Amino acid sequence: MDLQQIKSESEKFISSKGLMINSNLPLIEDLDEASPKSAYNISARMFAMSNLIGMGYGAKRSKLKKI
């Protein structure tokens, strides 16, 4: 499967869920060069984003947890 085909199938799946797609996004790097992030890295980013969202909705900083 080539990169354009992977992108097309991903966009089709996302569209089927009723979500919008930015058609200007480029293809990912070559699959041989791709390196998945570690579970810790992903969870740390999700945690940081959840805190930002909480602050955006007015949560008190003292209620938000720290890493």
pLDDT digits (tens, 9 = 90+) for 6-65: 889 999 999 999 999 998 888 877 777 777 889 999 999 999 999 899 889 998 878 777
* Alpha helices (H) in the chain, listed in sequence order: 3-16, 39-56
CB-count exposure of residue 26 (10 Å: 0-12, 13-18, 19+)? exposed
Q: Which pLDDT belongs to residue 66?
A: 62
- For residue 1, pLDDT beyond 80: no
Q: Which pLDDT belongs to residue 18?
A: 95
Q: Which pLDDT belongs to residue 33?
A: 74
